[in-house]
């Protein structure tokens, strides 16, 4: 049988089958694209919520900074100074051990100090510097060697 287009029934059926397969493939791609779009929209919503939470957190942080700033402005300078000095009076176990060693020997070098407290030279050097700055120890130089003793 001949169709209106001048082709046979079999050729028309083959063409229809071909078009149906293309249509199915396009529908499948459309579904996949719509799925991806939904995921993107979900991600955008989550991102927007996260940004909103961050902005809220930063605003809260800024307002608490302002409260601290106002609180510090209201307090007299002497009160703040006292807190710093009370913190400086605190000694660690290692510092106390080092002071006891210096007290028992009278005077020690950095090398002797680090061997007695079991810390690195760098650690002991920093600790000795802090104790000198706090006024607990005195440092004397004899030639190239520094000696540490208790302050009077």
Predicted confidence (pLDDT) per residue in 74-128, tens digit: 655 544 444 444 444 678 888 899 999 999 999 999 889 888 888 888 889 899 9
Query: Any idea what DSSP says for residue 3?
Result: -
Mapping DSSP to helix (H, G, I), strand (E, B) and coil, where does residue 16 land? helix
Predicted structure pTM score:
0.42
The CATH number corresponding to 90-150 among 2.60.120.10, 1.10.10.10, 3.90.420.10, 3.90.1480.20 equals 1.10.10.10
Q: How confident is the model at residue 57 (pLDDT cuts 50, 70, 90)?
A: confident
Q: What strand order describes the sheet that includes 108-109?
A: 108-109, 145-150, 137-142
For 17, list phi and psi in degrees, rounded to 5.
Answer: -65, -45
Q: How confident is the model at residue 72 (pLDDT cuts 50, 70, 90)?
A: low
Per-residue pLDDT at 76: 52
Q: Give the mean pLDDT of 17-37.
A: 93
Token pair listed for 87: 């913190």
- Work out the angle at residue 68's Cα, subtended by the Cα atoms of residues 62 and 72, and round it to the nearest 5 degrees: 145
Domain ranges for the chain, please list them.
1-74, 90-150
Residue whose token pair is 């919503």: 45
């Amino acid at each position: 049988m001949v169709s209106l287009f001048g082709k046979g029934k079999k050729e028309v059926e083959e063409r229809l089958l071909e078009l149906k397969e293309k249509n199915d493939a396009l529908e499948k791609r459309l579904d996949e694209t719509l799925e991806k779009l939904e995921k993107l929209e979900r991600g955008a919503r989550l991102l927007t919520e996260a940004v909103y939470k961050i902005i809220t957190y930063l605003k809260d942080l800024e307002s608490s900074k302002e409260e601290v700033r106002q609180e510090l402005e209201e307090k007299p300078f002497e009160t703040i100074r006292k807190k710093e000095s009370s913190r400086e009076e605190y000694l660690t176990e290692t510092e106390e051990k080092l002071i006891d060693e210096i007290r028992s020997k009278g005077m020690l070098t950095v090398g002797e100090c680090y061997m007695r407290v079991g810390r690195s030279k760098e650690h002991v050097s920093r600790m000795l510097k802090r104790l000198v700055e706090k006024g607990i120890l005195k440092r004397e130089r004899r030639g190239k060697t520094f000696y540490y003793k208790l302050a009077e």
